[in-house]
Chains A and B, each alone.
Chain A
Amino acid sequence: MDTLLKVNGVSKKYGSKKALDNVSFEIRPGKITGLLGSNGSGKSTLMQIIAGLTPATAGDISVMGKPIGRETKSLISYMPDRPLTESWMKVKDAVAFYKDFYADFNMEKAREMLDFMNLNEKDSVSVLSKGMNERLQLTLALSRNVNLYLLDEPIGGVDPVARGKILDAIVRFYSEESSLIICTHLVRDMERIFDEVMFLNSGSIVLHEEVESVRLKHGRSVDDMFKEVFGE
């Protein structure tokens, strides 16, 4: 199959405010795509719509040819920008919770990732630092065997040193047949792990291009392009 995700003419309104305006794009399998935009550009809204958590006002989306809905829940793993875990949980409870909830959860992979991330199963989720919490959320999201992973700001709350660890984990543990969409505004830190990038500005896609061709054609980094498009 050539297209994993197809987004066609998607708009989203909150009252009279347009969060997304006629967004269309396709994602092929085996690609890591950066969804880049400043705060309030509509990134998280778009991710939530693809994840099936909130409906679009107009347009349609399909994953592996299936329209977004109950059937696509088993095809998509979504890492929200806020933790889904409860404060009473220990790390092992959070993992068990995911395992109960998702039939496609790969326990072996989860253990391997916890180990790589230096996460202790006995630690309480509530005492984890922001950075360690992001590591846990990423472990939970990537331990599912699905076709499409949506990661919302996976390095948002992490200091520059720990960012490397998260990037390392993403490259190491994502499966090559699946695709990833990673939303971020930390372009410089993440651009090297992307195949392609999409710029989302005020609810519209203004650029969708392979990162190496941005560098080859324009002789500049994605980060520079980003600053030009979003600079004031």
Chain B
Amino acid sequence: MSIEFDNNLPIYLQIMNHIKRQIVSGLLQPGDKIPSVRELAADLQINPNTIQRTFQELEREEVVETKRGLGRYVTSEGSKIMAIKKEMAGDLIHQFIHGMQELGFKNQDIVTIVKEAVAVKDNTDRKGASPDGHIAEG
């Protein structure tokens, strides 16, 4: 695991987001074991107490669960993983809308622009790639 850290932001938040992204993208599957504090601290060259705090926060949010004596595991609850997905999507959309508003677009314009962009993307995807994602030949 490697992360580009931004030293201006709390490190534990960055590691939390990183782990959540891994869960949402399927790199970490429900029920997967996550590394120990020591392993992750050494891997990322981060203070072990910071990692400890990351895991505590993830536990509090029920993203990971501790099985006594066995270690920590990604939650097996599908609904929880869906919730993380929604939360991360919410953040992205919020940033996007904020950025568009700063550019002077009204809400109705934003919806139209997104609709058009999605349609264009859909079209090029269908033309340029086969359904399994490989670029079609010829």
List residues of A whose CB falls within 8 A of some B CB.
Answer: 30-32, 164, 167-168, 171-172, 176, 188, 191-195, 211-212, 215-216, 219-224
* Known A-B contacts A168-B42, A171-B41, A172-B38; A215 and B8 likewise in contact (beta carbons under 8 Å): yes
Q: Assess the A220–B8 pair: CB atoms within 8 A.
A: yes
* Known A-B contacts A172-B38, A212-B50; A192 and B45 likewise in contact (beta carbons under 8 Å): yes
Number of interface residues of B (CB under 8 A): 18
Q: Assess the B47–A32 pair: CB atoms within 8 A.
A: yes
List residues of B whose CB falls within 8 A of some A CB.
Answer: 5, 7-12, 38, 41-42, 44-50, 53
* Known A-B contacts A215-B7, A216-B10; A192 and B38 likewise in contact (beta carbons under 8 Å): no
* Known A-B contacts A172-B38, A212-B50; A164 and B9 likewise in contact (beta carbons under 8 Å): no
Contact residue among B11, B42, B53 (Cβ-Cβ distance under 8 Å from A192) = B11
Minimal beta-carbon separation of B80 from chain A (angstroms):
26
Contact residue among A31, A168, A188, A212 (Cβ-Cβ distance under 8 Å from B10) = A212
Minimum CB distance partner of A176 in chain B: B48
Residues of A within 8 A of B49 (CB): 30-32, 195
Minimum CB distance partner of A221 in chain B: B7
Residues of B within 8 A of A220 (CB): 8
Q: Assess the A172–B47 pair: CB atoms within 8 A.
A: no
Minimum CB distance partner of A223 in chain B: B7
**Bound CA span A25–B88, Å:** 41
Q: Assess the A171–B7 pair: CB atoms within 8 A.
A: no
Minimal beta-carbon separation of A54 from chain B (angstroms):
30
Minimum CB distance partner of B47 in chain A: A193
* Known A-B contacts A172-B38, A212-B50; A224 and B8 likewise in contact (beta carbons under 8 Å): yes
Minimum CB distance partner of B52 in chain A: A176
**Bound CA span A192–B7, Å:** 8
Q: Assess the A171–B48 pair: CB atoms within 8 A.
A: yes
Minimum CB distance partner of B45 in chain A: A167
**Bound CA span A215–B90, Å:** 24
**Bound CA span A168–B40, Å:** 11
**Bound CA span A103–B10, Å:** 40
Minimal beta-carbon separation of A32 from chain B (angstroms):
6
**Bound CA span A188–B7, Å:** 8
Contact residue among B9, B38, B44, B53 (Cβ-Cβ distance under 8 Å from A215) = B9
Minimal beta-carbon separation of B112 from chain A (angstroms):
35
Q: Assess the A193–B8 pair: CB atoms within 8 A.
A: no
Minimal beta-carbon separation of B50 from chain A (angstroms):
7
Residues of B within 8 A of A221 (CB): 7-8
Residues of A within 8 A of B42 (CB): 168, 171-172
**Bound CA span A191–B44, Å:** 13
Q: Assess the B45–A171 pair: CB atoms within 8 A.
A: yes
**Bound CA span A191–B7, Å:** 8
Residue among B7, B42, B49 having the largest count of chain A Cβ atoms under 10 Å: B7
Chosen A-B contacts, 23 in total, with CB atoms closer than 8 Å, are A164-B45, A167-B45, A168-B42, A171-B48, A172-B38, A192-B5, A192-B11, A192-B45, A192-B46, A192-B47, A192-B50, A193-B47, A194-B47, A211-B11, A211-B47, A212-B12, A212-B50, A215-B10, A215-B11, A219-B9, A222-B7, A223-B7, A224-B8
**Bound CA span A33–B41, Å:** 16
Apart from A192-B47, A223-B7, A224-B8: 7 A-B pairs, beta carbons within 8 A:
A167-B45, A171-B45, A171-B47, A193-B45, A215-B9, A220-B8, A222-B7
Minimal beta-carbon separation of A172 from chain B (angstroms):
4
**Bound CA span A72–B42, Å:** 30
